[in-house]
Chain A
């Protein structure tokens, strides 16, 4: 493997991934061809990082899915006294208007799922298409697509998101669109390098020899093997997306019609000195979700990288 830092390294260079840009970081991760999914999972569970990652991510997903069942109150309803500290009735306290913070955090998980899910789909779609097309066509098309990828990789997407949302209005849809359209570059590079390395392998040769068309080889033989590495990177990308969403909320650019952790954090800012709970709990929730995704992705990358 030619990547200079080993398969783990690129995982933490977030916004602009220098190593992924200058070289092909995860080339050959998908070499875990033949590693059955069950084996990957078993290896994942053998690593503490994998276990913690699965537990944290799983918790967020479960809470998000079950939000209406779990939440004691409507997160927007005034149900208690103003600024009440954590208590039996309101385990995470209430905000200035008397809304239950626990319910807010629970419904926030649901928003997190929606944002992460939709951005994930967009990123996966664009990243896989650009990466595959680019590597398979080669030549000027590859060059052009890679220039485009590079542009999106250097584009400061937090700045861009701030400007777009400040000008066009805060809304979940716009947020998903902006983050999705600007976050796929790393994935495209990973997929491209995976496909490039897989293209030369025996089973692809075999398929080619048996007369399968190029497109069919890509879809049936190469992509399924390139995707695991892609999803590991997707997790890292989504972790970043969650942090950006939270930061946008913090500077007051969150969607006011959806309870999200970033929105809760922005509400907390004015009450820092009087109501620590308003800041601490949403902040913790964000950290848990991001940590879970990071750990899980790391572990997956690790498992794929060593299972050759």
Chain B
């Protein structure tokens, strides 16, 4: 059984693979799905116009994890495998594979009928080149995960590739889709600087659509790849990816018929669009930054105010999470009931004692902790350890600009119990620097994406070896030897039920100590016109789509 090895390597490699959802500008989606909502006979021809948030700048998905680039370019490329909605690998460039040595050797049989858009045949040399020269150098997630575990890539013949690892490495098949490991052509990139190759602006791929034109800041036009190796696909003649940065404007463009597909409907407009009956929707927890994300408040435990568990519990009681769900998320998601996302059933604990919304209890706890209110205004310290008497209960709250509404509501709700919150919105690079490198913050909200296994996106938040300076890791600076030990134990526990029990134990401790407070599990809603159907959820969304003429 390879589970043990899987876990070891996961830990090793995925700590840093923060799938923190950096809003709408950051990462490519973590999974690729091939769901279709087919309800009619596919029709050939037609154009789909999709809105994307921001100009990609370049179109090579192998050298970046930028969501803008991935949305704009994935239709032109393939991975060795694709992922089903259940996140199981299904054949793409590789038609079959076998795993040997308990997961230390993967042998892929490649299709022999694939050609690049320029007519050159696709071979195992392209795969080896893509990994060795590009993905493991420039694709930050794949570099940090696969790169750290990989020993060598061999190509016994033109249509066989072998990945050999120093130790068993189980998650590989989840990391070979077009998002994590797009394959690019060796004959175009060999001997050049992959970051400055002109093909980055006019890509050559194997994907269902081929490059036609790119107007920076405006649109990318793709035509159907007549020679696509998947039979009958794609149905569409053309896909246009239109840059519309303002989400309100994306909706306006959808309604006026200027675009046919939105990757994410802004909450405020959702119910209006649903009522109009002119659009179809796909709800997915596969967000731009990763799967199974929880909007999470971190308390900086290095700060004296937040060292008291009573204070943290009081603040948690003061937060009305239903209101976050309805007024910030517009009901796209659910209130988080455990530190681990409900999308990971074996990790998610049930029936935890999460603090419920209770202002009276919050005020009682604050009084007890020495934060007293004299005139109903901001509370001040009276005998709080490490805090001079008279210090007001005032602190900062950091977020990405895209999540500023969380801050607005956080401030309003905490003001009701006498805590004064000041907000700061920081762009992702500055946020990462401030929170994780300099650790100069009081509280913040981060979309922590749990991924598909607690080892990927949960562990990184809690283990003490993960405090600074790793971006999107242990923001709270939480140190608990018992939790560290349990996470280590979970790695080596092969049996899934036993592992569940350990995670449950961990979550009980976390809910009691509240280094973080988990607000809501978020989902994104894709929208498209009823004239079209057959869309997938993520980057290859248009591969199987078709429209009425």
Q: Is B251 an interface residue (CB 8 A)?
A: yes
By a CB distance below 8 angstroms, the chain A residues around B3 are: none
Which A residues, 258 to 277, have Cβ-Cβ distances below 8 Å to chain B? 269-275
In the bound complex, do residue B246 and residue A96 qualify as a contact, i.e. CB atoms below 8 Å apart?
A: no
Measured CA separation A274–B270 after assembly (Å): 10
Q: Min CB distance, B245 to chain A, in Å?
A: 11
Having A78-B412, A97-B328, one finds 12 other A-B pairs with CB under 8 Å, namely: A76-B415, A77-B416, A78-B323, A78-B327, A78-B409, A78-B413, A99-B412, A169-B424, A170-B424, A170-B425, A256-B404, A270-B268
Q: Interface of chain A, helix or strand or loop or mixed? A: loop
Q: Is A83 an interface residue (CB 8 A)?
A: yes
In the bound complex, do residue B327 and residue A270 qualify as a contact, i.e. CB atoms below 8 Å apart?
A: no
* Residues of B in contact with A (beta carbons under 8 Å apart): 246-248, 251-252, 255, 266, 268-269, 272, 323, 326-328, 401, 404-405, 407-409, 411-413, 415-416, 422-427
In the bound complex, do residue B423 and residue A257 qualify as a contact, i.e. CB atoms below 8 Å apart?
A: yes
By a CB distance below 8 angstroms, the chain A residues around B247 are: 270
A-B contact count (CB 8 A): 64
Measured CA separation A166–B247 after assembly (Å): 20
In the bound complex, do residue A169 and residue B426 qualify as a contact, i.e. CB atoms below 8 Å apart?
A: yes
Q: Is A82 an interface residue (CB 8 A)?
A: yes
| Chain A minimum-CB-distance residue to B408 | A97
By a CB distance below 8 angstroms, the chain B residues around A76 are: 408, 411-412, 415
Q: Min CB distance, A101 to chain B, in Å?
A: 14
* For the complex of A and B, 4 pairs with smallest distance between CB atoms: A256-B423, A78-B412, A272-B248, A257-B422
> When A256-B407, A256-B424, A257-B423 are in contact, do A271 and B248 touch as well, CB less than 8 Å?
yes
Measured CA separation A82–B324 after assembly (Å): 12
Measured CA separation A74–B420 after assembly (Å): 13
Measured CA separation A98–B404 after assembly (Å): 15
| Number of A residues, CB within 8 Å of B | 23
In the bound complex, do residue A97 and residue B409 qualify as a contact, i.e. CB atoms below 8 Å apart?
A: yes
Measured CA separation A290–B537 after assembly (Å): 48
In the bound complex, do residue B423 and residue A270 qualify as a contact, i.e. CB atoms below 8 Å apart?
A: no
By a CB distance below 8 angstroms, the chain B residues around A83 are: 268
By a CB distance below 8 angstroms, the chain B residues around A269 are: 246, 248
| Chain B minimum-CB-distance residue to A271 | B268
Q: Min CB distance, B110 to chain A, in Å?
A: 46
Q: Min CB distance, B418 to chain A, in Å?
A: 13
Measured CA separation A96–B405 after assembly (Å): 9
What are 17 A-B interface contacts by the 8 Å CB criterion?
A: A74-B415, A77-B416, A78-B409, A82-B327, A96-B268, A96-B327, A97-B328, A97-B409, A98-B327, A166-B427, A170-B425, A252-B401, A256-B424, A269-B248, A270-B248, A273-B251, A274-B268
In the bound complex, do residue A97 and residue B412 qualify as a contact, i.e. CB atoms below 8 Å apart?
A: yes
Q: Min CB distance, A3 to chain B, in Å?
A: 42
Measured CA separation A156–B328 after assembly (Å): 36
Q: Min CB distance, B414 to chain A, in Å?
A: 11
In the bound complex, do residue B425 and residue A97 qualify as a contact, i.e. CB atoms below 8 Å apart?
A: no
Which A residues, 191 to 228, have Cβ-Cβ distances below 8 Å to chain B? none
By a CB distance below 8 angstroms, the chain A residues around B426 are: 169
In the bound complex, do residue A77 and residue B415 qualify as a contact, i.e. CB atoms below 8 Å apart?
A: yes
Measured CA separation A82–B266 after assembly (Å): 15
By a CB distance below 8 angstroms, the chain A residues around B246 are: 269
By a CB distance below 8 angstroms, the chain B residues around A97 are: 327-328, 405, 408-409, 412
Measured CA separation A5–B531 after assembly (Å): 60
| Chain A minimum-CB-distance residue to B396 | A257
Measured CA separation A33–B65 after assembly (Å): 68
Measured CA separation A272–B250 after assembly (Å): 12
| Chain A minimum-CB-distance residue to B255 | A273
Measured CA separation A96–B271 after assembly (Å): 14
Measured CA separation A98–B427 after assembly (Å): 26
Measured CA separation A97–B408 after assembly (Å): 8
Measured CA separation A256–B413 after assembly (Å): 16
Measured CA separation A99–B323 after assembly (Å): 13
Which A residues, 267 to 289, have Cβ-Cβ distances below 8 Å to chain B? 269-275
Most buried by A among B246, B407, B411: B411
